[in-house]
Structure 1
Amino acid sequence: MRIRPTNIQMGALMPTLSEFNILDTHVIENPYPFYQALLQQAPLYRVPGTDIYLVSSWQLIEEVLRNQKDYSANLTGILVTGADGTAELFDFTAFGGVVDAIANADEPVHSVHRKLVMPQLNARKIDAMEEEIRQWSARRVGALVERGAGDWIEEVADPIPVLAMARLIGLPLVDLPQLLDWAFSGGAILAGTTTLDQLLALSVSTEAMNTYLQKHMQGALAERPEPVSAPNDLTEELVNGVRSGLISEREAVSILVVLVGAAGESTSSLTGSAVRVLAEDALLQQKLRKSPDLIPNFVEEIVRLESPFKGHYRAVLHPTRLNGIELTESARVFLLWSAANRDPGAFSEPNELQLDRAKPRDHLGFGRGIHFCVGARLARMEAIVIIEELLSASSTFFVTPNTRPEYVPSIFVRRLRRLPLTFSR
């Protein structure tokens, strides 16, 4: 079955890349014509005025991922919006800062971090969480459908992923309001549309989250002077890592910071995009109600077409060549998963939602290689459960008339901040 989601708009005529501004509101809300232009005209494209290059093709992204000698996952610099409104580089290293936990860690540190968290993110643990997540989803979705209208993002898409990660970490669920605020601060820093003044304000929020998680970790270490024989949550796994000397307390806190942020951004983005596509396609809604076994493939196509994370940075460690272009040691590349997931060199009819793709999981929506998303299994399960509960609780739903979905202004994530829906039971 082939469906073209109505919210995915491609330009009829192909503009040149000089006509696009990566920070422009229209490009952020509908980046796909820009991605198409990148793929056709410059799969390695230097953002004007910076040493940051956009990598859009599947082939070039895989080339970067394979070359861990010349490219580092450490987050050393990001795009920000300068005083004149154009993109510029904000260099973390100039201030002595580098983000190097889990997805932003290189080997051998990355493997240490990954091995510590994966026991709580394996199939058995995630399967054991499904019933509780279904209860949360049924309660929140049911209340929203009962009211007849409301904002899907505020009521469902944002809180459930953060609740799930709080449960996995071992944080008090009553702290959800504060965790929700913090969970999206890191993504806002990476948005690209953020000014230096806004970065300063966001740093206050991220520092507050760091302090909260540091106190949580210190409390856990104080309560557990010896390694935990059978860890019940991610905090206890990290306690064991600190006690065994595998990681420092600082690293443990950094891992928690990354997990809280990634959990919010990824699954909120995924469930928001999935429900928007369904809200704009009544026939697709009905098909999935009649054939719920297709929901997992639908989720994979949304991850591909509307990749929750548009891209991730890599720092160039040594002078190297990519696509025939010399990259200096000071350069960064931004791997555009969301563009490569629509690369015609990798997919047939790449801009169409197809529920019958032979390899539905063969995409870059959760990254690839050693940095493949540690929470992919959790995100998939949450999205499937939430969609199942929504389709079961309603007979139809659609975007509320005279309103419009609104996206977070970000080059980093594809996340809706508002999705007003109207429901029929």
Structure 2
Amino acid sequence: MSAHRHHDPVLMRAPLYSPEPDEILSDEAISNPQQLYARLRQDAPLARIHASGVHTVANWSLIEEVLKREADFSANLTGVLYRGPDGQPQCFELPSSRANEVIATADDPQHAVHRSILQPAFLASQIKAMEPLLRRWTTATLQPLLDAGSGDFAAVAEQVPARAVAHLLGLPQEDLPQHRVWAMMGGDILAGQITSERLEFLANETANMSAYLGKHLDHALANIDDSDTAPILHTLAGAVVSGEVDREQALGMAVILFGAGGESTAALIGSMLYRLAQAPDMADQIREKPELAPLFVEEVIRLEPPFKFHYRSVRRPCSLGGYELAPGDRLMLLWASANRDPERFSDPDVLRLDRKHSRQHLGFGRGLHFCIGASLARLEARIVLEELLADGRQPGCIAGQPPVYARSIFVRRLQHLPLGLT
């Protein structure tokens, strides 16, 4: 809608979040967000969270509308919801930085430039060529758990993506322990609540990661490999030399890839293994018909998107869903809610292996900002699924050892996933 409708008397400010201002930050909303999302879809598809200036967008149609209106809604990450000192939701304003406005958090024309730089590394042929390597890493990571007959399968979920993103960037695999830490902290700033101790750790590790990636980027700048199969850091170095981006932006792109490529895929793999453990019949069906494996992965992505939402910031006075918005307001596009919108999906809460158009969901975003690494994430998840099922035993949850989700309103990632094999 155009900006002139800002003063239309039939429009209203978005209603207060209901029933409790801080419900979205609650333990229940983190462990079981779908109850909250269902109420939002039904009662308040657009809802203002307390006095934070942040609004949830909960149904498919409104999210789709936002994604088509880039002139009104920017992808720049300018602020995040968090629990303030008084316990109520507030918006933490983020400083403006060119390094923060890259890939997923950049608008066109910059976004198009960044995507064109990275796209060759994610071509289907490039991703397919990684399959033998991914299988070796997966079998090596799974083997100790298979030998023991039980264990914390979060190790598999975290190590395989951390190895993959390091390989794409051109980083040494022997640094895996540090890569794994950095890959899993990408969403911390969006988690909604963080202790001062964790914030200090995050600040220190972000500085360490930036220095580490900066060192490898500078090495690439001094020794550019411009071949078609060159690691991404060399591609970024070439883009710096050509003037497409500056060093700060190139480093920001590398940092984003570390978190987005690591944590999101770890979240997907963990959710997939947990679903498999809860549904023995699914394991049997996929063993009998291996072609069902990609469909299983796709349904897990729909039901449990690795990132539950992404932000958009309001650029100018405008309206959405019958309510007026002001510059500086933020929107939380709830992918995880829209993916279960009954107006869009039949049996939205059911994992179905016969679902038509199985990829028509928002688990990887949509439109201009569709996840550039979606094909790699799908491949990693499928390989983990296939290698585990090849063992022949059924994974199951262990009594008295419940899975533990990362304490985050943003990422749907299992930090601990104890499973046994029978």
Q: Specify the code of the residue in structure 1 equivalent to 2:113.
A: V
- After superposition, the Cα gap between the structure-2 partners of 1:97 and 1:127, relative to the gap in structure 1 and judged at 3 Å, is closer
Q: Output one character per residue of 1:339-386: Cα deviation in whole Å (capped at 9) or x when no partner.
A: 000011111111111111110000000000010000000000000010
Q: Deviations over 1:245-265 (max 9, x none)?
A: 111111111000000001111
Match of 2:282 in 1: 284
**C-alpha separation between the residues in 2 aligned to 1:354 and 1:317?**
39
Residue identity matched to 1:88: Q
Deviation at 1:197, TM superposition (A): 6.1
> What is the alpha-carbon distance in structure 2 between the residues aligned to residue 139 and residue 249 of structure 1?
36
Q: Deviations over 1:47-97 (max 9, x none)?
A: 11210001111111111110111111111100122123222110013x768
**Structure 1 residues 64 and 312 mapped into 2: Cα distance closer, same or farther (>3 Å)?**
same
Equivalent residue for 2:193? 193
2:206 is matched with which residue? Answer: 206
1:8 equivalent in structure 2: none
Deviations 1:24-59 (A, max 9, x none): 111110000000000000011111121000111111
For the 8 Å contact 2:21–2:88, the answer to whether it is kept is: no
Contact 1:116-1:238 at 8 Å conserved across structures:
yes
Aligned mates of 1:178, 1:317 — CA distance in 2: 38
The match for 1:397 among 395, 398, 406 is 395
TM-score, normalized by length of structure 2? 0.93
Question: Does structure 1 conserve the Cα–Cα contact (< 8 Å) formed by 2:60 and 2:338?
Answer: yes
Q: Distance in 2 between matches of 1:27 and 1:231?
A: 43
- Which residue pairs with 1:3 in the alignment? none
TM-superposition CA deviations, 1:164-218 (whole Å, max 9, x none): 0101110011111111111222211110122566434422211211111111101
2:349 alignment counterpart? 351
Q: Does 1:365 align with 2:363?
A: yes
**1:145-172: CA deviations, max 9, x gaps?**
1111100002x00010010010111001
SS at 2:23's partner residue?
coil
* Alignment-derived partner of residue 84 in structure 1: 86
Look up the equivalent residue of 2:257 and give its one-letter code. L
Q: Which residue of 1 is the match for residue 4 of structure 2?
A: none
Q: Aligned letter for 2:318?
A: T
Find the partner of 1:272 among 270, 273, 288.
Answer: 270
On the 8 A contact 1:307/1:337 being kept in 2, the answer is: yes
SS of residue paired to 1:185: coil
Measured against aligned partners, the alpha-carbon deviations of 1:294-341 in whole angstroms (never above 9, x if no partner) come to 010011100000011100001111111011111110101011100000
Task: Find the residue that maps to 1:69 and give its secondary structure.
Answer: coil
Please state whether the residue corresponding to 2:117 is helix, strand or coil.
helix
Q: Show the 5 A alignment for 1:77-156.
A: 77-93=79-95, 99-154=100-155, 156=156
* Contact 1:82–1:196 (Cα < 8 Å) also in 2: no
Identity %: 44
Which segment is superposed worse, 175-184 or 59-68? 175-184
* Aligned residues of 1:152 and 1:418 also touching (Cα < 8 A): yes
Q: Which residue in the other structure is 1:315 paired with?
A: 313
Structure 1 residue 142: Cα displacement: 2.5
Q: Tell me the residue number matched to 2:35.
A: 33
Cα offset for 1:231?
Answer: 4.5
- Alignment partner for residue 226 of structure 2, among 228, 237, 243? 228
Of 234-243 and 252-261, more deviation after overlay is shown by: 234-243
Distance 2:55 2:197 in 1: 24
CA separation in 1, counterparts of 2:361 and 2:65? Answer: 15
Give deviations 1:391-412, integer Å, cap 9, x for gaps.
Answer: 1113212011211010001111
Give the Cα separation in 1 of the matches to 2:228 and 2:138. 29
**Secondary structure of the equivalent of 2:187?**
helix
Superposition map of 1:332-351 within 5 A: 332-351=330-349
8 Å CA contact 1:76, 1:98 repeated in 2:
no
Which amino acid in structure 1 is aligned with residue 91 of structure 2?
Answer: L
Give the Å deviation of 1:20: 6.9
Which runs of no fewer than 5 residues in structure 1 stay unpaired? 1-15
| Aligned position for 1:242 | 240
How far residue 229 of structure 1 moved from its aligned partner, in angstroms, is: 4.5
The one-letter code of the counterpart of 2:101 is D
Verify the 8 A CA contact 2:98 2:248 in the aligned structure 1: no
CA RMSD in angstroms comes to 1.7
Letter in 2 for 1:199: L
Question: CA separation of 1:195/1:333 partners in 2, compared to 1, >3 Å: closer, same or farther?
Answer: farther
Instruction: Give the CA deviation at 1:17.
Output: 3.7
Instruction: Name 1:388's counterpart in structure 2.
Output: 386
3-state SS, counterpart of residue 158 of structure 1? helix
Distance (Å, rounded) in 2 between the aligned partners of 1:247 and 1:96? 14
Under a length normalisation based on structure 1, what TM-score does the superposition of the two structures give? 0.92
Alignment correspondent of 2:168: 168
Contact kept in structure 2, 1:308 and 1:414, CA below 8 Å = yes
8 Å contact kept, 2:404–2:417: yes
